[in-house]
Structure 1
């Protein structure tokens, strides 16, 4: 009896210890820490863009076309005289919103489908996994182009499309994790004492199975941002005068602009590169943190 009480008393302390060790391993990865710090700065800039921006991002002044960086226009202007610093700031709101929210909903759907398939197995697993295989068989990017072309391009529609075609990898990954966990002794003990399936999944299985999904989700954020930028570059994403990094690049695909004002394509391209690299560094750091080996 004393041993059982002692074990019960020590179990709640295990999770904070594991989190502390994971954070310690994450901090040892310098590039991951730098990526996290830069990502926090980017998110803060996006959140406070209306207060930080020096100009209206849609305001045109043809007398200020392709002006180089100056005290008035910190990053210069584009071919319509719009302030590039303000447009990049507002573009960060679009890119980060797409990356964060699309992956968040992807994880939710993937966790639900993967948990049901992995835990119940049998016919349920077969039906769900065949549906996942069917979804994975579609050429995703071309399908994205077709769907976005049929409907009015907007931030909401882009996120919906990325969610519909982006959750399958999470479900397969989580299913594999659950298959390796669900028959362990502590799961059998939970069933023996009459614990419900829902509680077993959320209390005992998911906390031990979500680490690879979190790493995958972090890495996928960069992919989602690149996909949105590609759609906007092709004219199928965020439409002017609203700013996104992709449509800023699209407006600069002109040899004259590239030669006379190279900052117009370079700056949004660098922001895309920097943001994706930050997510990749964070993902690598999380992978090392969750892997105790």
Structure 2
């Protein structure tokens, strides 16, 4: 009975924490706006085949560099391709890279960080030295090297981002778990004979995962920017498949920059808008999960 009372008085129920966090998140207007815009972008990307007005790979040299009009809402590029359709399909690539890369980063980081933080000792030392070794590599240049060796594709880019992007999550979660694992409700779970797996993933993780969620949200913007950079350098998604980065790459021509400024401005703005939305959401989540 004493243990149960200690458990209730030292740690709010996860449902209560979520309710309070959502209430604080809603009070951050920029975070809510960012969330609404991001949901809209995800829906546009999902339903791109139904929304797109043209085939994004279809070329019509007679329609080169046409300004925005009723037929071509965002105008056309230097090969006469409809820019609105290419931006929609490019959103599928960029958002897929950001969301799936971070999702798998979180999964790997949670597993490694949970094991290291909970068991400590030699297990913690071995795992953290491996993390330190991975962090010692110059990640972006390593990304370029790996992508150069293999055929550039959406799958390969996501794999590379996952392999070199999970370490920060593991270190962050390790520190959180080390500060939580000796609290009364964890001791109570051990006393009644719960397995380590259940203690970690049912009792400790829900109370330690908040900073990882915030970090993951902020990282999505960085992943999208990295993919766009790789595609801009010609090492990412290859034409005729569209991504925001390779749309920008096609606008490097001085003629395009001067005669059709909408070609670089529109995908550049989409990258800017997406990253800003993720940053606003991350800032809102950080405030929402801050108990102060």
Query: Is the TM value for this pair above 0.5?
Result: yes
Q: Counterparts of 1:258 and 1:21 in 2: how far apart (Å)?
A: 49
**Equivalent in the alignment of 2:90:** 91
2:136 paired with 1:132 = no
2:219 paired with 1:220 = yes
1:205/1:8 CA distance change after superposition, 3 Å:
closer
Q: SS in structure 1 opposite 2:179?
A: helix
Question: More deviation in 36-45 or 9-18?
Answer: 9-18
**Equivalent in the alignment of 2:115:** 116
For residue 15 of structure 1, report the CA deviation from its aligned partner.
2.9
**Equivalent in the alignment of 2:279:** 280
Cα offsets for 1:222-260 (capped at 9, x unmatched): 000000000000000000000000000001001111000
Cα offsets for 1:42-62 (capped at 9, x unmatched): 000000000000000000000
**Equivalent in the alignment of 2:245:** 246
5 Å-filtered alignment, 1:1-293, equals 14-293=13-292
Q: Counterparts of 1:16 and 1:206 in 2: how far apart (Å)?
A: 14
Q: SS in structure 2 opposite 1:17?
A: helix
Matched residue count: 292
8 Å contact from structure 2 (residues 6, 184) kept in 1 = no
For residue 113 of structure 1, report the CA deviation from its aligned partner.
0.3
8 Å contact from structure 2 (residues 66, 75) kept in 1 = yes
Cα offsets for 1:161-201 (capped at 9, x unmatched): 00000000000000000110111122112112111110100
Superposed CA RMSD in Å reads 1.9
8 Å contact from structure 2 (residues 57, 81) kept in 1 = yes
For residue 115 of structure 1, report the CA deviation from its aligned partner.
0.4
Cα offsets for 1:6-59 (capped at 9, x unmatched): 999999993332212111100110000000000000000000000000000000
Q: Counterparts of 2:259 and 2:4 in 1: how far apart (Å)?
A: 75
Q: Counterparts of 1:23 and 1:77 in 2: how far apart (Å)?
A: 42
Q: SS in structure 2 opposite 1:25?
A: helix
1:7/1:94 CA distance change after superposition, 3 Å:
same
Q: Counterparts of 2:97 and 2:78 in 1: how far apart (Å)?
A: 26
Q: Counterparts of 1:190 and 1:44 in 2: how far apart (Å)?
A: 42
Q: Counterparts of 2:28 and 2:8 in 1: how far apart (Å)?
A: 33
Q: SS in structure 1 opposite 2:72?
A: coil
Structure 1 gaps, min length 5:
none
Q: Counterparts of 1:57 and 1:116 in 2: how far apart (Å)?
A: 46
Question: More deviation in 21-30 or 186-195?
Answer: 186-195
8 Å contact from structure 2 (residues 14, 207) kept in 1 = no
8 Å contact from structure 2 (residues 110, 170) kept in 1 = yes
8 Å contact from structure 2 (residues 11, 185) kept in 1 = no
8 Å contact from structure 2 (residues 7, 188) kept in 1 = no
